[in-house]
Amino acid sequence: MKQATLDIEVREQRHQPVLSIRTRTDVTHLPELIGDAYPRIGRYLEELDVEADGAPFAAYYNQDMKDLDVEIGFPVEDVIPGDHDMCPGEIEEGKMVTCMYIGPYEGMVEAYGEMHRYIEEKGLKTKGPAYETYLNSPGEVSGSEELMTRIDLPVY
């Protein structure tokens, strides 16, 4: 199913503390890595009696599908101590080009392309990682066409 034209806009991101795991992997192992990381971070947050301050995210620091530099985590209200490979971090405040993508994860390539065209047309430049916030998961929907992902690209 082809994605309709995306609603792409610029929004202001507030400073957001996070608890995350930053690692490297190839794209074929990414689903397994994410499937392990979110529950581990969730259990740790429960141990601390801390609730996530939003949906889980992944931040991609490069686009090398054989050696992805990825950060997987949850936003939290305040900085909390890390544990082993789980570390406190942040999503910096500033401008983000954003869109809501609905559909299978493998179809997001087109969304990124449209977002980069928008950025170029507006005379903006990207900085920092690309963020994907997963508003639902494959286990929560009847098909991949219903997956909802907010994509954010920091710009200046």
Q: Which residue has the tokens 């985590």?
A: 73
Residue 3 lies in a domain: no
What CATH number should be reported for the domain holding residue 148? Answer: 3.20.80.10
Residue 2 lies in a domain: no
Residue 104 lies in a domain: yes
Sign of CA dihedral 137, 141, 142, 144: negative
How many domains does the chain contain in total?
A: 1
Residue 77 lies in a domain: yes
Residue 107 lies in a domain: yes
Residue 59 lies in a domain: yes
Q: What pTM did the predictor assign?
A: 0.94
Structural domain boundaries, residue 46: 8-154
Q: Which residue has the tokens 């503390």?
A: 17
For every one of its 156 residues, what pLDDT tens digit does the chain have, with 9 covering 90 and above? 444 568 999 999 999 999 999 999 999 999 999 999 999 999 999 999 999 999 999 999 999 999 999 999 999 999 999 999 999 999 999 999 999 999 999 999 999 999 999 999 999 999 999 999 999 999 899 999 999 999 999 999
Residue 73 lies in a domain: yes
The identity of residue 110, as a single letter, is E
